[in-house]
Amino acid sequence: MSFKRFLGAVGILFAVLHFSCSKEKAGHSDAMDHASDEWSYAGETSPEHWAELEKNSDCLGKRQSPVNIIDLNVVEKAGDTAHNTLFYSPKTILTRVRNNGHTIQFDFDRGDSICSRDVHYDLVQIHFHTPSEHTVNGIRYPIEIHLVHQSKEKDRFMVLAIFGIEGRESETLERLESFLPLKEGEEKVINKALDLTTIFPNNKDYYSYSGSLTTPPCTENVDWIIFKEPSILSLEEVIRMRDNMPLRNFRNEQDLNDRVVSLYRNPHGFPRN
């Protein structure tokens, strides 16, 4: 059963804002690694027990992720007031894919990147949660894609989150899933170029807030960009990805506390170079 394309074409350059970032050559480094034998999504090692298992973690912190985004409470930023420039190329190298027991993770060589407030972040990996971790007005989507970017100094992350809804087949997801199935602990070396410029939804409006990693050690050093409009993918693609991961590999939403979720409008889309 198949339907409309995963996403509309987007420009290589994603520009939105007051601050101008020039693309830097940052050294590649591994982002947080989901792999660990100490925690899981079920039983005595489920998210409710992560703080006990990870004694020096931030899992009981006040700025945790994911959260439930309530549109009534978000602060809308008028005009093009965002502050990000996204550089995505058709030639970025997918180095390997692995099943780390918590998710399917695709690792990338340096190439695609984002610059925010003059801080440069390199894309290091993409992974998946089924169903979604973030919710919007209490609604949980069938899947959430996390594009994890790490700063050159390796002290902060920026994660772009894309919800998925069932509809038409996604060409991008089909390409990623062509490297599956993978058993737990198994990995494949790929070293092939992968075009991620079409992975974003047609409407580029997004939510933004400061939070944490959604897996131990739950470090509170993450700036989140969550696209408001979900992307389209087929039911078969959701099922195929889900069948390669633990059942319901998501953390429940955390208290927002004193944080504010902002909504950035991008009515003109992302221009090409």
**Pick from 87, 78, 146: nearest CA to 116:** 87
pLDDT digits (tens, 9 = 90+) for 109-147: 988 999 888 889 999 999 999 999 999 999 999 999 999
pLDDT of residue 79: 57
Let me know if residue 124 belongs to a domain: yes
Does residue 41 lie in a domain region?
no
Rounded (5°) CA angle 106-107-111: 120
Is residue 36 situated within a structural domain? no
Distance CA 248, CA 151 (A): 29
From CA 256, how far away is CA 9, in angstroms rounded?
A: 34
What's the pLDDT tens digit per position in 45-94? 999 999 999 989 999 999 999 999 999 999 998 655 557 788 888 889 99
- Kindly state whether residue 120 falls inside one of the protein's structural domains: yes
Which pLDDT value is given to residue 110? 85
For residue 32, the model assigns a pLDDT of 56
3-state secondary structure the chain: CCCCCCCCCCCCEEEEECCCCCCCCCCCCCCCCCCCCCCCCCHHHCHHHHHHHCCCCCCCCCCCCCCEECHHHCEEECCCCCEEEEECCCCCEEEEEEECCCCEEEEECCCCEEEECCEEEEEEEEEEECCCCCEECCEECCEEEEEEEEECCCCCEEEEEEEEEECCCCHHHHHHHCCCCCCCCCEEEEEEECCCCCCCCCCCCEEEEEECCCCCCCCCCEEEEEECCCEEECHHHHHHHHCCCCCCCCCCCCCCCCCCCEEECCCCCCCCC
What is the residue type of 76?
A: E
Q: Could you tell me the pLDDT band of residue 7, with boundaries at 50, 70 and 90? A: very low
- Give Cα separations from 36 to 79, 91, 95, 96, 131 (angstroms): 43, 31, 21, 19, 21
Assigned domain for 204 exists: yes
Mean pLDDT for all residues in the chain: 85
pTM greater than the 0.85 cutoff? yes
Which residue is listed with tokens 């992968």? 194
At 24, the pLDDT band (50, 70, 90 cuts) reads very low
Q: Tokens 């390199």, residue?
A: 122
- Domain contains 232: yes
**What pLDDT shows up at residue 115?**
87
- Look up the domain containing 167 and give its range: 13-20+48-264
Distances (CA, A) of 81 to 84, 230, 232, 265: 9, 22, 27, 8
- Is 27 inside any structural domain? no
Q: Which of 5-9, 40-44, 80-84 has the lowest mean pLDDT?
A: 5-9
Residues labelled as active-site residues: 102
Query: In the chain, how many domains are there?
Result: 1
Beta-bridged to residue 83, according to DSSP, are 17
Q: What is the mean pLDDT of residues 197-226?
A: 94
8 located within any domain: no
Task: Return the CATH number at 64.
Answer: 3.10.200.10
